[in-house]
Amino acid sequence: MAVFAIARGILLWAADRKTLKKLVVKMPVTKSVVKRFISGEKLDDAIGVIKDLKAKGIKTTIDFLGEFTDTVDQAYVVRDAYLELLQRVKDEGLADSVEVSIKLTALGLGLPNGQEIAYSVAESILKVADELGTTATVDMEDHTATDVTLAVVKRLREKYPRTGTVLQSYLYRTVDDCKEFNGKESRIRLCKGAYKEPASVAYQSRDDIDSSYLKCLQVLIEGEGRPMVASHDPKIIEAAKKAFEESGRSRDTFEFQMLYGIRQDAQLELANAGYNMTVYVPYGVDWWGYFVRRLAEKPANLKFFIRALFGK
């Protein structure tokens, strides 16, 4: 596990290195391996996956890949990609099984006056989603963006109360955030966290992160919102099932979420057992950061990539 911890640290460092990205993405094997975690680079690829999952009784949340923008025009490109996606969802009759996931940094959060820009762009996406009878979940990034992200979410919920947000159990603050953002109609995707964070703000051991996850989940269960259990960990999933059952919550008031390409057997098993199952489906050309973080999350993912690189 010590070796994995070192490898994970290196991968999370690599996720933000543009030079390394340019080197690796040119390797012929890379794109074939990436297909395990990314639905494709084009919208048609994502639509095909949505249809396939819907046929299996599984809903989707769609992420147009990209984490940062350098100009307002780039933020508008991301906005337009989401609007095109939502139009296709409408045209294909898929609105009842699809929502979208958005990153505020991709919508201009890091620009001068970025909070206003990100809010405006996000609001335009949510407006269209709401008209279709669906919604969006605001993804969370590293801890430096937590306060401003939640501030934007709070404003968005004034118009669109079903706007979802992501909270990460490895942060010390998350139990309190769960209490604050768990109001009526709220939707909270609870995950463990996928960024390399310092010990000053985040738990470092797996046991502490898991313990925090279950404490946060209990807060969500006792609240008025819709908990979204985002985990591939069998222990967390079983503990969540038990906690929901003991609470008396009906299955239509919560859901499980997993990432595209990971534990597909478990996704189908949950759906077939009558649980609401949603799969996070990313698409687009800017897949490097997302892909590397998926490798960093689990030793099996990293081993899969290494074997592929060496043709095994």
DSSP 172-234: TTHHHHHHHT--TT-EEEEE---S---TTTB--SHHHHHHHHHHHHHHHHHSSSEEEEE---H
Res 36: pLDDT: 77
158 in a domain, yes or no? Answer: yes
Res 288: pLDDT: 72
Residues with a catalytic annotation lie at 139, 189
Q: Give which of 192, 193, 104 is closest to 154, Cα–Cα.
A: 104
Report strand pairing: 136-138 vs 98-102: parallel
155 in a domain, yes or no? Answer: yes
Location of structure tokens 């975690």? 37
CB 37 within 8 A of CB 260: yes
> What is the number of structural domains in the chain?
1
Res 2: pLDDT: 47
Distance between CA 33 and CA 44 in Å, rounded?
19
Res 24: pLDDT: 53
Q: Where are the alpha helices (DSSP H) in 248-286?
A: 264-272
217 in a domain, yes or no? Answer: yes
Give the chain's end-to-end CA distance (angstroms, integer): 23
Provide the residue range defining the domain that includes 233: 39-286
207 in a domain, yes or no? Answer: yes
Instruction: Walk along the chain (312 residues) and give the pLDDT tens digit of each residue.
Output: 444 454 445 445 444 545 545 545 555 545 666 777 889 889 999 999 999 999 999 999 999 998 788 899 999 999 999 999 999 999 999 999 999 999 999 999 999 999 999 999 999 999 999 999 999 999 998 899 999 999 999 999 999 999 999 999 999 999 999 999 999 999 999 999 978 899 999 999 999 999 999 999 999 999 999 999 999 999 999 999 999 999 999 999 999 999 998 899 999 999 999 999 999 999 998 777 677 766 666 555 556 555 555 554
Distance between CA 287 and CA 289 in Å, rounded?
6
295 in a domain, yes or no? Answer: no
Q: Give which of 188, 228, 198, 192 is closest to 211, Cα–Cα.
A: 192
Distance between CA 138 and CA 177 in Å, rounded?
15
What one-character DSSP code corresponds to residue 171?
B
Res 298: pLDDT: 59
Two tokens, residue 240: 């969540």
174 in a domain, yes or no? Answer: yes
The CATH number of the domain holding residue 89 is: 3.20.20.220
Distance between CA 71 and CA 59 in Å, rounded?
33
113 in a domain, yes or no? Answer: yes
294 in a domain, yes or no? Answer: no
Res 14: pLDDT: 46
Res 205: pLDDT: 92
Two tokens, residue 191: 């995950």
